[in-house]
Structure 1
């Protein structure tokens, strides 16, 4: 608890705080995937092929864009992403095939306050329940907290997007609330659920994710041996 000269409770002082740097276009190397700055020319065809493998458009229901029946439609969106002044988009590269199979982005960075949002998570069916799906998220978390030294990492999704909400909790984010009627998209109203991960929580969460991603946690069929939830329980129990 902190208080001022009037006895009023206030937030923790930050005498050494300074604005942080903007995220940069760079390549992040993982065990099973790389993240590369998104290029419509370089990654567009791979992404269209990966997205087209889905039998219908249900994967795009709670996203503001898509589905894409034509390559030209996707290319236009990717080109806009590539040249965004405010958001930094990455292609997720499967190292086993060297093909782009999804995208992820850091959006609306606030360097003054040290916060940024993870968004535009466009995962093809090739990413479902894979190590890559988690490692791609981990690579950006590590960049945000360890290199950029940000204080807050945000995750927002449609209130009805159960899979996204479950993924946020699995990765260590905390639910903060629902912002009702926040936006209008695709001709309908959206209530948006907010989640966050903060720098105080990162060291423990980093250990959890590193333990899950370790090669010895996967069998020869590439299936996990221990879940993230079980690893988190063990680590938290050991520290308590």
Structure 2
């Protein structure tokens, strides 16, 4: 199928200006404000375990973490978003827009790290909903990517849960401090975003949670129903 892109124009670059939902607020990474709080959210020295699949140099302190993120934002094309709990303003995690290609309307969400309080919580889903909404709804990108070390089972699960489509593995793609990296590629296209967006909104609806905060329906089930209705 040939897509008519006669009227296509390059997109604006995604920014990390503030975004907010019911559970999470997203703010731009600020080294002085966030390096210590991210280090704490990631468990101090266990940050190295949480970020193992990034292939970043080993870190011995919050200052090392802050320096690494700052360098990637200054020179590596990262636009890092910090996730904070809306009510308490506690820092919970981060992710970055990266490999940004304004000409073709493509960018990646990567360097995704959720601290323990954020993992498997509505805040995690809402944060990625907000980041995707900026890329697709605000800026009109055509393709949003999620790439990971193929050995990272948790990241595979997250990509599939959020509605990204597996595209394949680049074997022996990179040399990292831990050795070889085979890179798995996932993507979401602009035409796929409306169903993914609708599913996330339905899942995040307070009516989808019981009095103890447990989900009534899984995100994947909701999205499957939407696809079936659209078929």
TM-score range, shorter chain: over 0.9
Distance apart, 1:97 and its partner CA:
2.0
Q: Which moved more, 1:64-73 or 1:83-92?
A: 64-73
* Bigger Rg over Cα: 1
Question: Residues 186 and 210 (structure 1 numbering): CA distance in 2 closer, same or farther, change over 3 Å?
Answer: same
Is 2:119 aligned against 1:128?
A: yes
Distance apart, 1:72 and its partner CA:
2.1
CA contact (8 A) 2:36 2:63 kept: no
Q: Which moved more, 1:205-214 or 1:61-70?
A: 61-70
SS in structure 2 opposite 1:62? helix
Q: Unaligned 5+ residue runs, structure 2?
A: none
Distance apart, 1:48 and its partner CA:
1.2
Deviations 1:9-42 (A, max 9, x none): xx32211111111112310111100110001111
Q: Structure 2-normalised TM-score?
A: 0.93
Q: Structure 1-normalised TM-score?
A: 0.90
Distance apart, 1:223 and its partner CA:
1.7
Question: Structure 1: which 4+ aligned runs deviate by more than 3 Å?
Answer: 53-58, 66-69, 81-85
Q: Which moved more, 1:48-57 or 1:228-237?
A: 48-57
In the other structure, the counterpart of 1:21 is: 12
Aligned mate of 1:196, from 182, 187, 198: 187
Superposition RMSD on alpha carbons, in Å?
1.8
Q: Which moved more, 1:48-57 or 1:165-174?
A: 48-57
In the other structure, the counterpart of 2:134 is: 143
Aligned mate of 1:87, from 74, 78, 87: 78
Q: Unaligned 5+ residue runs, structure 1?
A: 2-10
The number of residues matched between the two structures is 231
Question: Residues 151 and 56 (structure 1 numbering): CA distance in 2 closer, same or farther, change over 3 Å?
Answer: closer
